[in-house]
A and B are shown apart, each in its own frame.
Chain A
Amino acid sequence: MLSKITNRISTVIKNDIYITRLIALMLIWLVFMGFFRFEKFYTVINFQTMAAQFPEFGLMAFGIMLCMILGGIDLSVVGVANFAAIVGAITLKKIVGVDGEMLGIAIPIVFIVGIIIGAMAGAVNGFLISIINIPPILATLGTFELFTGIAIVLTKGKAISGIPFGFSEAITGRLFGLIPIQLLIFLAMALVITFLVTKTTYGKKLYLTGTNITAAKFSGVKTTKIIIKTYMISGISASLGGLIMLANYNSARAGYGTVYTLQCVLIVVLGGINPSGGKGKISGVILAIFVLQMLASGLNKIPEISSFYIPLIWGGVLVAVMVMNYFTENKKIKL
């Protein structure tokens, strides 16, 4: 039994150097925290807090991941998330009374509205990229400004606050007092994306298009459809992230989460998704999300490390991983 497990682990290590690297990074950090901040880090509340924090940007990272497998990128995720959160907030304020009546109906409606907005925003991205042929970086950077702009107009630049607390309470609550609801939303989306990517023809076509779009076209793949679909899923994922942000901060504003764009790109690259497309697994991205959250929360627990160093650490990790990936890729070529 034990040898079976070790066998399996060793094949995994051989098969996927990116994931091995992430696990090693995570273990090093866990040991480090164990030595220096054991009583602060290894607590249930700390793991619950972390599990409630990463879903909002983790969902955005999923979107970027799918687009990157396709050989593109979605830099508009934060814009989509804020747009969805703001429309969600307006909807909530319209439906729910001061005493919280209608809340049971309002929550599903807010999610439906948010998902529709995400899908529409994603469709705009997909249309610009596949039909108008704008490079993904430019297209999504443009739509990021567009969605943020619409959000600013909707809110007149202010934060929407005074939202009935019921929504926030429902989403930031814990199932059985233990598992944060945000985590469940994240896991549900992770399952859906895993299913789509590994079990459906859509997944096969996604990787094929990402590897070589010309070959995919000649093999009869409707690449336009695949591109639009992928950006729509990215938009939906981002909008769910936005609704979680709405719950976490009980307010919505066009400028929330501006740091997430870069952070999500960092996660996706760290997770072993090849920026030129066609390669990478969702499990790597999930691991990268865990690693980044543990790093962030851990650093927040060490007052001796000044906040001045945090961007330096992020940048260092990103560059180090890309350099390591470069050497792994080159080794493969030599062999």
Chain B
Amino acid sequence: MARWGMVIDLDRCTGCGACVAACKVENNVQVVSPAEGERGRRMHWLRLLVEARGEYPHVEVRIAPNLCMMCENPPCTKVCPVHATYRGEDGLVGQIYPRCIGCRYCMAACPYSVKAFNWGSPEWPEALLSTLNPDVSMRPKGVVEKCTFCYHRLQLGREKARAEGRPLRESDYQPACVHSCPADAMTFGDLDDALSPAAQLSRSTRATRALEHLGTEPRVFYLEKRDAPL
């Protein structure tokens, strides 16, 4: 079983936001009203966390995509009372929408704050309903949702491989965000496959993980910005 993981090179990430838009469109994540957005209820499975340090003009802005870390030791699955968030056999932390009771305990427990909650019913303008992705289920109000590493693409990839009578290749499965990145800052693959670029990059000396001291063993690695070659 592949150990799916992601490596994000912060030296290359320009913070353009293509990944944010790609994820939203791929996964039918609702757009909330402006008023709701002001109250902090915008729904992003993948967001950019921005930290500006320093004073003008020596300002360093660290932009890091923040998404579900697919922890190997997830704090969120431990606390869910109804097994609606769970760690599946692919090692991906999933979310069972029909079972979630919306207690938001997993959201309080996640140290990365990556889960999103449907505070209200998704209101899709009628005309835009046809643009929804038929591979991803819709969520009603009152349930928690989060990044799934585009699990539906894994399923599609498996079907394709099966139809072609061959085993699943790494190139068959890539989340929408990774595909969209114009800087090639995101690499995705099997962390256990020594030949996979994702695996190699995850072992780079620049590779770190967020909040590593908490022992959650996240599967998303960040390559820190390099010192200026000048």
State yes or no: do A and B come from one complex.
no
